[in-house]
Chain A
Amino acid sequence: MKRRCVKLNYKIIAYVEAIVLIAVIVGFAVYGLYFTNQPIRLSGAGATFPAPLIQKWSAEFKDMTGAQINYEGIGSGGGVKQFTDKTVDFGASDPPMKDSEFSAAPGTLHIPITIGGVVPIYNIQGTSKGLNFSGQVLADIFSLNITRWNDARLSTLNPDTALPDAEIVVCHRSDSSGTTKVFTSFLSDESAAWNATYGASNVINWPSQTVGGKGNPGVAAAVQQNQNSIGYVELSYALQSDIPYGKVQNAAGKFVEPTLETLASAASAVSLILPPGNASWASEGSYFNLHNVEEPDDAYPITSFSYVLVYQELNVRPGMTLDKAKILTWFLWWAIHDGQHYAPGLSYVPLPQTVVTHNEATLRMISFNGQQVNNWA
């Protein structure tokens, strides 16, 4: 009797397992059918910085058109790689493609879609936001040449603020990051010593005794928890949190507070000398080097574009159809126009009109099998 009971139990388990298995298979089949019936799906991958904005765009665009655009924020390096391998419909990158990357992906169009800025943040008891920094002084602080807040080089820039006689705790990004690249490119241009010792890259051989945090939140936490500390984060992150941030001296010699307006001002200054969309943008570098243009007084110096990368001739991407090409071009067109209205709400800088006009010309270059895709504008 007992034995039968045991046998029966195994049978029941086997039946339950079979039912679950069938349910899972049917579930997958239904899921697959449902989604293959969806009209149009496009995919993009790349920089994490614009990811919230692009995802907002794709949600709004889906409501409007029904087309689904998936964007994965995997990092600029990964975005360029997947775009070059043609496994995504569009890529995104904070720095423009290097010449070697550009020649590996011929026919790439660079489309600046938003503007980013890197700002110094600090935590000094009794000092609110608005300390003045110059590029040279920032380089000296981050290389531990200036080690105390009451250093003469800092107090000459901030004659009205009493800075404490305390050791500076330097905080930086520990993960490989485009933010670090933008910031250190600026330091390299401003300080020959920095350029010779540390250079500009995603990963820096920081002096020991500095504290690394993972991501913008990690750096912000490190700054907030260490008295007398300094770090750097994306402007949008600084605006959304309560950490004091400083002003940075621009090429015109003015100390400029980073705001959406001062970043936009830098972008409109640089927009006069942008290369055509289908050329190499490598010379643009990691941030706007405004020494070659007449810089407005209110342009924030550590400012850069974030780019969407798309092929000029879309048939190089496997599986591309005319319908998909139209939707992709429409999406980008919409993003640089109406999509920009969503930028300030998410602490992103809307593109100045001059950059939008430049992008319009770039988007008109897109073709599918030799035919211009964008024929509505």
Chain B
Amino acid sequence: MKSSKKHPNFLSKLRSISKKKLSGDSVFKIVIMLVACNVFVVLGLMFYEIIQNSLLSIQMYGAEFLLGTKWQPFPPNPNILPSFGALPLILGTLVTSAIALVLGVPVSLGISLALSEFAPKSFNYIISFFVELLATIPSVIYGLWGIFVLIPFLQNNVYPYLQGALGFLPIFQGTIRGPSILTGGIVLAIMIIPTVSAISRDVFAAVPNSQREAIVALGATRWEKARIVMSYGRSGVIGAIMLGLGRAMGETMAITMVIGNSFNLFGSVFEPGSTLASIIANEFTEASSPPVYVSALMEVGLILFALAIVVNALARLIIWRSTRKIKEAGMV
């Protein structure tokens, strides 16, 4: 303080003024709170705009929009109303995301367990670096790779054997198509691995060492130790999976390039399909008339929005319930 009095400068003046009236801390607090409140504004405006724009289609089609299976924006006869039914899209989104979770989550958990429990430090560092690198690859690159590398490979070397082994199940029957629901799910699985594994690695790393020491002291094997770590970090892992699911459902570019883009209520995973996001990517750019067409695509966006909210809410619920259980168990 003394030195600043000796050489008074602008900063120290400002400091002395603001100390009397308004401390820097409180100004900072107000600014930061305003920034945080932007989240509400952005989310609210987005929701309002989407609802506003899809109102026309909601009024015209109602529940038929959710259950219909025909998508014909320009009917051949101008006297017929355009048809918009989003059921195949909803199903496409849910099934591809489910495939992504089934294939992607075990791999991700394996990676994060290896990193936090088994791998030596140096190896750990390299793998983490590459996992994070995977997350930075733009989705259009995944799509291109999917078209030119993955699809020919799967179609020739994997799908025929898969059908041979599991062909008794109806979902693995029918003509094998390269671009298909299954291909879409596989690409999504690869895309969610970095998200899920990076977060669950952090979750596992946060498990207190006392837990590990305790179980090892009881004579546990490494697998048993890993199980304890996983169950301790369960809520965090579920959160990571839900984030991965959110990414899978909203993924647009890559899935559009590999899913086959057929408006199809598929019965087999080898059939082409569409997702909520892919139909918007395909059709929104040139949709100008009729107005209900734009509105219908907006409603597709609204459904996607609603699905994301439901998934998030479910994740919260699961986390909340499992943490409560742990707490209760702790009390007993």
Residues of A with Cβ closer than 8 Å to B?
Answer: 74-78, 81, 167, 169, 174-177, 188, 195-206, 208-214, 218, 221-222, 225-226
Contact = CB atoms under 8 A, between A and B. Distances in A.
Contacts, number: 105
A176 B286 contact: yes
B147 interface: yes
Given A167-B175, A199-B77, A205 B263 contact: yes
Nearest to B174: A209
Interface stretch (B68-76, B103-111, B113-121, B122-130): B68-76
Given A74-B285, A225-B147, 16 more contacts: A75-B286, A77-B286, A81-B288, A169-B177, A174-B274, A174-B278, A195-B76, A200-B76, A202-B74, A203-B73, A208-B263, A209-B175, A213-B179, A214-B257, A214-B282, A222-B179
Contact of A209 (B71, B264, B288): B264
A329 B289 CA distance: 31
Interface in B288-302: 288-289
A373 B30 CA distance: 60
B177 A226 contact: yes
Contacts of B73: 201, 203
Nearest to A11: B11
A220 to B, nearest CB: 10
Interface in B174-190: 175, 177-179
Nearest to A175: B282
Nearest to A167: B175
Interface string B141-183: 0000001100110010000000000000000000101110000
Contact of B75 (A167, A177, A199, A206): A199
A206 B282 CA distance: 14
24 contacts: A81-B288, A174-B261, A177-B286, A195-B76, A199-B77, A201-B73, A201-B74, A202-B74, A203-B73, A205-B71, A205-B72, A205-B83, A208-B266, A209-B175, A209-B264, A209-B272, A210-B262, A210-B272, A211-B260, A213-B179, A214-B281, A221-B148, A225-B147, A225-B178
Contacts of B278: 174
Main secondary structure of the interface of A (DSSP, over half): loop
B285 A209 contact: no
Contacts of A176: 282-283, 285-287
Contacts of A75: 285-286
B257 A218 contact: yes
A225 B155 contact: yes
B260 A212 contact: yes
A221 B71 contact: no
Nearest to B273: A208
B262 A206 contact: yes
Contacts of A76: 286
Main secondary structure of the interface of B (DSSP, over half): loop
A95 B266 CA distance: 34
A117 B29 CA distance: 63
Contacts of B83: 205
B271 interface: yes
B200 interface: no
A221 B310 CA distance: 36
A121 B50 CA distance: 40
Contacts of B177: 169, 211, 226
Contacts of B286: 75-78, 175-177, 202
A197 B179 contact: no
Interface in B311-332: none
B256 interface: yes
Nearest to B73: A203
Contacts of B283: 175-176, 203
B256 A214 contact: yes
B28 to A, nearest CB: 13
Contacts of A197: 76
Which 10 A-B pairs have CB atoms at the shortest separation, nearest pair first? A199-B76, A212-B261, A174-B261, A201-B74, A208-B264, A176-B286, A205-B72, A77-B286, A175-B282, A77-B288
